[in-house]
């Protein structure tokens, strides 16, 4: 017998009866749901406010949700209206007013009007965080600002997003596959500031983002 998904509140009370083939977490007041192979959205009252009609969807972020129609992606608003026509091979959620999109195997960024504000030119990208985004070119990572200017030249083997003014970086590592997962072997992790200056020398075997003034690190013993 197939599972059906619904929602409970913090007391454990079922507030939306199990009725969906799949369901996601609530984000900005909506949760994606799947029924009979199509995807839509429910509100917190259990009302399906955007009927299942898409081939795949993502969470709402900054008022928009990514949707797949056929083999291409676009974006809808909370009324279910398509506000950015499906045209991209791959897309991501909006963050700091822009979203990463991929066209013809290169990544760039669009604004909420669907305008390409940073032309597709990168091999891989991540969301903007604290005004900067990690971008990969020719196997090395650097950072751009929202004008698309390369503010920290690609030189690192791996990086993280900026958090509390610092980003993790690694140099001297080598990318290898363990099964289907790509990992970095060798090299050490350190931290840079937004000028690209190394403020904590690479010395750690693993590291996490700064949060509340602290970052976790690991050293092999």
Q: What is the pLDDT of residues 82-135, one digit of tens each?
A: 999 999 999 999 999 999 999 999 999 999 999 999 999 999 999 999 999 999
Domain segments of the chain: what residues? 1-122, 124-221
pLDDT band, residue 183 (cuts 50/70/90): low
Q: Class for domain 1-122, per CATH? A: mainly beta
pLDDT band, residue 199 (cuts 50/70/90): very high
Q: What is the pLDDT of residue 145?
A: 97
Q: What is the pLDDT of residues 22-66, one digit of tens each?
A: 999 999 999 999 999 999 999 999 999 999 999 999 999 999 999
Q: What is the pLDDT of residue 178?
A: 72
Q: What is the pLDDT of residues 152-166, one digit of tens each?
A: 999 999 999 999 999
**3-state SS of 32-87?**
EEEECCEEEEECCCCCEEEEEEECEEEEEECCEEEEEECCEEEEECCCCCEEEEEE
The HSE-up count of residue 169 (CA atoms within 13 Å, CB side) is 28
Tell me what percent of the residues of the chain surpass a pLDDT of 70. 95
Find, among 117, 171, 99, the residue nearest to 142 by Cα: 171
Handedness of CA 85, 86, 88, 92 (dihedral sign): positive
Q: Is the pLDDT of residue 180 over 70?
A: no
- pLDDT-wise least confident of 71-75, 86-90, 153-157, 171-175: 171-175
């Amino acid at each position: 017998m197939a599972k059906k998904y619904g929602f409970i509140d913090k007391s454990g009370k079922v507030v939306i009866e199990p009725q969906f083939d799949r369901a996601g977490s609530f984000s900005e007041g909506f949760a994606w749901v799947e029924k009979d192979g199509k995807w839509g959205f429910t509100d917190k009252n259990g009302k399906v406010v955007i009927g299942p009609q898409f081939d795949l969807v993502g969470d709402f972020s900054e008022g928009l949700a990514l949707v797949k129609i056929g083999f291409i992606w676009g974006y809808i608003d909370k009324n279910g209206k398509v506000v950015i026509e499906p045209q991209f091979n791959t897309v991501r959620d909006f963050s700091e007013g822009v979203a990463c999109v991929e066209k013809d195997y290169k990544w760039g960024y669009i604004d909420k009007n669907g305008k390409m504000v940073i032309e597709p030119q990168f091999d891989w990208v991540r969301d903007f965080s604290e005004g900067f985004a990690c971008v990969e070119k020719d196997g090395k990572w650097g950072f751009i600002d929202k004008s698309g200017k390369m503010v920290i030249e690609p030189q690192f083997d791996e990086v993280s997003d900026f958090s509390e003014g610092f980003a993790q970086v690694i140099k001297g590592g080598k990318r290898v596959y363990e099964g289907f997962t790509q990992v970095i072997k060798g090299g050490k992790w350190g931290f840079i500031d937004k000028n690209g200056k190394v403020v904590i020398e690479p010395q750690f075997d693993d590291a996490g983002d700064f949060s509340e003034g602290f970052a976790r690190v690991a050293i092999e013993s």
